[in-house]
A and B are shown apart, each in its own frame.
Chain A
Amino acid sequence: MPDGAAVNDQEWADYVFHRRGEPAVKREWWYHIPSGVWFIAERDNRTDEFVRSYLYEQEGGQHG
């Protein structure tokens, strides 16, 4: 995530709004209702297959 104070409006708008939209494995937040746990899942957004999933802490709390 770019430093909001250091980038110009164009760069900030690009970070806020734009993305590469082609089919890919995306990293998403998912919520398991019975246990009330939030976790991260990597899912192929074309085949709807889950590649891997893990708790936030398990990956050393890395930021997106």
Chain B
Amino acid sequence: MPHRLLKFALSQDYPESRMFRAPERLKDEYDAVIIGGGGHGLGTAYYLARDHGIHNVAVLEKDYIGSGGTGRNTAIVRSNYLTPEGAAFYQTSLELFQDLSRDLDLNLFYSERGHFTMAHSPASLNTQRWRAEVNKSLGIDSRMVDPGFIQECVPELDLTCGGHQAPIYGALYHPPGAIARHDAVAWGYARGADERGVEIHQQTTVTDIEVRDGAVVGVHTDKGFIKTRKVLSAVAGWTTSTTEMVGLRTPLVIYPLQAFVTEPLKPWLNNIVVSASMHLYVSQSSRGELVAGASLDPYELISMRSTLGFAEGLAGHMLDLFPCLGQINVMRQWGGLCDMTPDFSPIMGTTPIDGFYIDAGWGTWGFKATPVSAMTMAHTMATGENHELIRPFGLSRFSDFQLVGEKGAASVGH
């Protein structure tokens, strides 16, 4: 070991290879083109190559990989959703996440912490109890716990919320709830895809998608035209641009979602703490920072700016729950784009345009679904048939009035 370190220190060449190649130019043709170099897009490329033998794939990313939602989320993975369709989908994702570090041979810092959704009233307690029973009937590890249990797990939590809010009556507890290093998910899938022949083109913007006789024939980019018969739009908050290119109408509305991290602290918060009535969720990352987020911005805006009002509001609520944080500094805040759907479920699979596939409608719930989305979209693109897990999430469900209502379980602040 010391000898290798010495060799590294004295080496002129960079000894470790890059995570993925940087091809100089686009080829004339690919078997599949994926628009969007986030976790979902890169993951889809990975599974296309690994499981379906489709290696002649290009992932086009207008900025750097993981610069969108993948790099901006609060990294919570859980499966305590409300509908049978949603629960099956997110549970599959959680199970894929549990082995993902090993699959990708990259430490994703996946850490099971136990996820609390606090109830601040007897009525809320009833709602959480209903949710626990639905989860249990769907085989999800989820149950009600009392204030004593919560206090034992999180001694620093003020159950009275400083007297500014209704106190905590109990919580929905989901032991498999976990956090992960979100950027690493993009890097791991990128490297895995690249090793299997996929080309990753950063700083490459798609300007148009060519459709002829109702079928995709190619993609126009700022680096040239690509012939292809299969295109996936996996750009979440930027979906309205790609759907505009093919003339597809969707219900998507884009809202900013903000978050912040505090300075690093010694490990003290083992669990993920969520308060629906105070619109906040917080966990402590493997770097010791408290990662916190709240509800969506109050109005639609296609911008990743963050605001003082958000930081003040979230900090105030954090202090109600954890008064010990009074002297702790907020280190960094940011925003991202959320493509919101009317039912808080994603939009996935085939579309009326032959060869145009969509992975969108990720709102505030996209990161936890990264592995299952990638796996199911790869299957769908390879076979041309929607994977069974995503059939309820088709774009046509709005015309058919078959919405999959997950607002109660997907996010806070409603």
Interface residues of A (CB under 8 A from B): 9-10, 13-14, 16-23, 26, 28, 45-48
Contacts and interface: CB of A to CB of B under 8 A. Distances in A.
20 contacts: A13-B399, A14-B249, A17-B251, A17-B342, A17-B398, A18-B249, A18-B398, A19-B252, A19-B253, A20-B244, A21-B239, A21-B252, A21-B253, A21-B254, A22-B244, A26-B300, A45-B254, A45-B301, A46-B303, A48-B301
Contacts of A9: 399, 401
Given A13-B400, A20-B244, A23-B240, 12 more contacts: A9-B399, A10-B399, A17-B251, A17-B342, A17-B399, A18-B398, A21-B254, A22-B240, A45-B254, A45-B300, A48-B301, A48-B305
B246 to A, nearest CB: 13
Contacts of B244: 20-22
Nearest to B299: A28
Contacts of A19: 249-253
Given A14-B249, A20-B249, A21-B239, A45 B399 contact: no
B399 A14 contact: yes
A45 B303 CA distance: 8
B92 interface: no
Interface string B212-249: 00000000000000000000000000011101100001
A50 B36 CA distance: 31
A52 to B, nearest CB: 17
A9 B253 CA distance: 22
A18 B251 contact: yes
A48 B299 CA distance: 10
Contacts of A23: 240, 302
A13 B401 CA distance: 7
B235 to A, nearest CB: 12
Nearest to A11: B399
A45 B297 CA distance: 13
B251 to A, nearest CB: 4
Interface size class of B (residues with CB under 8 A): 20 to 34
A21 B243 contact: yes
A9 to B, nearest CB: 7
Nearest to B403: A17
Contacts of A13: 398-401
A57 to B, nearest CB: 23
A45 B398 contact: no
Contacts of B342: 17
Contacts of B239: 21
B249 A45 contact: no
B174 to A, nearest CB: 31
Contacts of A46: 301-303
A42 B409 CA distance: 33
Contacts of B302: 23, 45-46
Contacts of B401: 9, 13
B347 to A, nearest CB: 11
B303 A48 contact: yes
Nearest to A18: B249
B399 A21 contact: no
Nearest to A21: B240
A41 to B, nearest CB: 10
A49 B239 CA distance: 22
Contacts of A28: 299
A7 to B, nearest CB: 12
Contacts of B250: 18-19, 21
A16 B303 CA distance: 25
Nearest to B395: A18
A47 B304 CA distance: 11
Contacts of A10: 399
A48 B244 CA distance: 21
Nearest to A48: B301
A23 B244 CA distance: 11
B358 to A, nearest CB: 13
